Structure 1
Amino acid sequence: MSNTPENTISILGCGWLGLPLAVHLVKEGYLVKGSVTTDDKMNELAEQQIKPYKVMITDAGIDSNDMTGFLQSQILIINFPPSRREDVVLYHQAQMAHLIKEVEHSPVKHVLFISSTSVYPDVNGEVYEHEVAMPTKGSGKALLTVEKMLRTNVRFMTTVIRFAGLIGYDRMPGRFLAGKKNVENGDAPINVIHQDDCIALIREIIRQQAWGDVFNACADEHPTRREYYTQAAAVAGLELPTFAVTADPHFKIVNADKIKQRLDYSFRYPDPLSLLHSGI
């Protein structure tokens, strides 16, 4: 039996989402270990009372200053996206195989895998967690493959949370399409989620011990690309984009009813359009 404290959490990947998540969990009283890929970022973690580790995972193996120490936790949050490369499926699968081997020999009991709604293809309708369909994007294929690797492992229990497009704070969309002409698919509904909701949902999964499940996570409202990015550019004072007339839009609408019901959760920012004017 492990004597690792029950309130110890390791976060693999302390970037845009992982760092504020780690800071939040520290404030909640958890002992948090965080990983980054370069030495210069380790001081930033230490300043936030996060125990820093250097961890770099490639298809060839793991380069770390102390991988065993990093995994001395009850809970591991895996938060690094697939690399942008042509062999992304095989590469990400190899990365995860190296990680799983290490986790199997650690005290980790529960894994929370940060996935993405890119695992769903465009079906011109709602998508749900129980549906099985082959993604069209390489990153989606890679994530779906890794989800299965983690969820079928009997040495630990995995929950997968599939986040929609991440927004909030310094990741606001005003510049994404500003000034662009004849943008395609303007009538397609968007799927996004604010950073604060991401962190709150992760915290609730841990608090309520919602292990062994798969959840979609997306704001309630789904404005069209035309509405959203036009308003985003206007609020930012930038040139408005224009959109082509699309006879056959392709889209998906991410249904997040399951996570709201399971965790008794109401989104803090259910309407992406109202967020554009808040600056949050």
Structure 2
Amino acid sequence: MNNVISILGCGWLGTALGKSLLRKGWKVKGSSSSNSSYNKLEMTGISAFYVKAKPQALEVDYNSFFSTNLLVVSIPPTRTKCVEDSYPQKMEQVVKKVEEIGIKKVLYISSTSVYEERNKEVKEGDEGSPQKPAGRALLKAEKLFTDNPNFQTTVLRFGGLIGYDRNPARFVQRKSEVNAQMPINLIHRDDCVNVISKIVENDIWGETFNAVCPEHPTKKEFYSKAAKLSELPQPVFIDNAGSYKVVNSDKLISRLDYSFSYNSPMDYLKEIEEWAYRI
């Protein structure tokens, strides 16, 4: 089973990861929790399974999904009032299944929302009490995996995901006001896939990494250009200081010897601009 990987949660990121690993010769199993995404998953070449995480139990069609030495958990919290309780309970069910089957390596996809907005740079180890319930839920879930002695876990904290069909200009279209000078913490999906692949291929476990573009333009710099390229209305920018964080990815760059494909989110917009110019 050394070349078998199971991805729990084959959504926008998980499916892209699975397709990339298939091309590298891995046997990939992927899970979906809806019929429509299940059918799409089957067409990718990834072995599709139905798995739905609930606070009380896991709904699983075939336990063979968990016949793997390496499990990637890519299930984000949903926006519900009880997320701070329900999400860790769901992840607790996943941990129980990992123990039951005897999986030895887990890669848990988390988020930079686990950090408080302290108006400064944050690194791994700077976790506190996140402002948002989803951030607090993720922090609890991380500990469920990292504190368990029966398997090794590496945690990846991604910033906001951009790339392909996710138009960043639409991120702020529904907001009445956008803080102009607030720095952004984003990462392109290609870098997400490459970082995960590097961790897996180099057998790096028992670590926690931030994964965000090393450069942090302001919201005004990024979203004004994104809106212009998409021919969408310009956001209403204000100069209210607000609270923010700048997520540092130096540990990942050093430990993985990693070079970002998109060093700045602006590089992605430049790519879109060049592509539009060519056509």
TM-score normalised by the shorter chain: which range applies? over 0.9
Corresponding residue for residue 217 of structure 2: 223
Q: How does 1:72-91 map to 2 (within 5 A)?
A: 72-91=67-86
Query: Is 2:157 aligned against 1:190?
Result: no
CA displacement, residues 12-60 of structure 1 (integer Å, 9 cap, x when unaligned) = 0001000010000111111110000123333332322211100011112
Corresponding residue for residue 66 of structure 2: 71
Corresponding residue for residue 250 of structure 2: 257
Corresponding residue for residue 172 of structure 2: 177
Q: Secondary structure at the match of 1:53?
A: strand
Q: Secondary structure at the match of 2:81?
A: coil
Query: Is 2:12 aligned against 1:19?
Result: no
Whole-Å separation in 1 of the counterparts to 2:125 and 2:172: 33
Query: Is 2:269 aligned against 1:276?
Result: yes
Match of 2:94 among 88, 99, 103: 99
AA of the residue aligned to 1:264 = D
For the aligned residue pairs, the C-alpha RMSD in angstroms reads: 1.4
Query: Is 2:123 aligned against 1:133?
Result: no
Cα distance change of structure 1 residues 32 and 233 upon mapping to structure 2, 3 Å threshold: same
CA displacement, residues 228-248 of structure 1 (integer Å, 9 cap, x when unaligned) = 1111101111111121231x3
Task: State percent identity of aligned pairs.
Answer: 41
TM value normalised by structure 1 = 0.94
Whole-Å separation in 2 of the counterparts to 1:272 and 1:38: 32
Report if the CA contact (8 A) 1:235-1:277 is conserved: no
CA displacement, residues 93-119 of structure 1 (integer Å, 9 cap, x when unaligned) = 111111111110114110000000000
CA displacement, residues 57-110 of structure 1 (integer Å, 9 cap, x when unaligned) = 1112111111x2111001000001012111111101111111111110114110
Q: Secondary structure at the match of 1:277?
A: helix
Corresponding residue for residue 259 of structure 2: 266
Whole-Å separation in 2 of the counterparts to 1:49 and 1:107: 26
Report if the CA contact (8 A) 2:178-2:236 is conserved: no
Q: Secondary structure at the match of 2:101?
A: coil
AA of the residue aligned to 1:185 = N
Deviation at 1:179, TM superposition (A): 8.1
Match of 2:36 among 37, 40, 62: 40
Whole-Å separation in 1 of the counterparts to 2:65 and 2:175: 45
AA of the residue aligned to 2:58 = I
- In structure 1, stretches of 5+ residues that fail to align are none
Cα distance change of structure 1 residues 198 and 69 upon mapping to structure 2, 3 Å threshold: same
Deviation at 1:264, TM superposition (A): 0.3
The number of residues matched between the two structures is 273
Corresponding residue for residue 120 of structure 1: 115
Q: Secondary structure at the match of 1:278?
A: helix
Corresponding residue for residue 196 of structure 2: 202
Cα distance change of structure 1 residues 131 and 242 upon mapping to structure 2, 3 Å threshold: same
Structure with the largest fraction of helix:
2
Whole-Å separation in 1 of the counterparts to 2:172 and 2:140: 31
